[in-house]
Each structure stands twice: as C-alpha cells, then as structure tokens.
Amino acid sequence: QVTLVESGGGSVQAGGSLRLSCFVSGATESSSCMGWFRQAAGKEREGVAVIDRDDTASYVDSKKGRFTISQDNAKNILYLQMNNLQPEDTGTYYCAAGPSEYCSRGYWRDVRYYPMDYWGKGTLVTIVS
C-alpha cells in the first residue's frame, strides 16, 4: 500500500513561489510514475507534472518554465517547485502514484480515464493578486 502525504501549500501573492513536498511510503515498481495534480474549485482534477524512476519529467504546457518536479529517492520525497505563481494556479494540489506507463505513454494527462492508483489528501494553494 502506497501512502502519500503532501505539505507546503499556503497563500502567496502573484509572482511568488512555493515548494510542495510529498512524503512517500510503500512505493513499488507498479507505482513508479509519480506526479502532481491540481483541482480548482468546481473543476475537474488535471495533471500538472509527472516524473518517472529515471527522473524523466513531463509537464502540462501551461506550467512549463515555471514549475519543476523533482524527487529525492533516498528520502522518498517528491517535490514541486512553483515559481511566478498566478491566480489561475490556485487549487488543491494532490500527489499521486501510478504505473510506469502512465508517465511513458502520457496517460497522466487524462485523469478522468486514467486516474492514478494512489492519491494523497491534497494541499491547498491560494494565489492572491
């Protein structure tokens, strides 16, 4: 059983930065695709970024250049560094884990049909203008 616990959310002004952390336990080969997802109020959950065991990262186009996903395998922590935050980045951010093909085949981009297997409870990020 994979357990994911997020931290690092908060309220910041537009243009500011935050770093989210996800503490991972119980990860296996079948959950090697790790990622961050965002859900705004009243909207569907959407993928933000994923990273596989070889540290290959992929991002949703709207976050490229501003967000960076990384992982510390020794400490079992997944990070999301978010810079130049904008009001449209507001939402609850979830850490998730799934099979490797979710990263390699891009399934993570379609959360409705390919939901990740394991989810954290989320951390709220609010950007004020």
CB contact set of 96 (below 8 Å; sequence gap of 6+): 4, 34, 35, 36, 37, 116, 117, 118, 119, 120
Q: What pLDDT sits at residue 120? A: 98
> Do the Cβ atoms of 96 and 4 come closer than 8 Å?
yes
Q: What pLDDT sits at residue 31? A: 86
Residues of the chain with pLDDT under 50: none
Q: What pLDDT sits at residue 16? A: 97
Q: What pLDDT sits at residue 57? A: 97
Residue-wise pLDDT tens digits, 89-108? 999 999 999 999 999 999 99
**Rounded Cα gap, residues 112 and 129, in angstroms:** 30
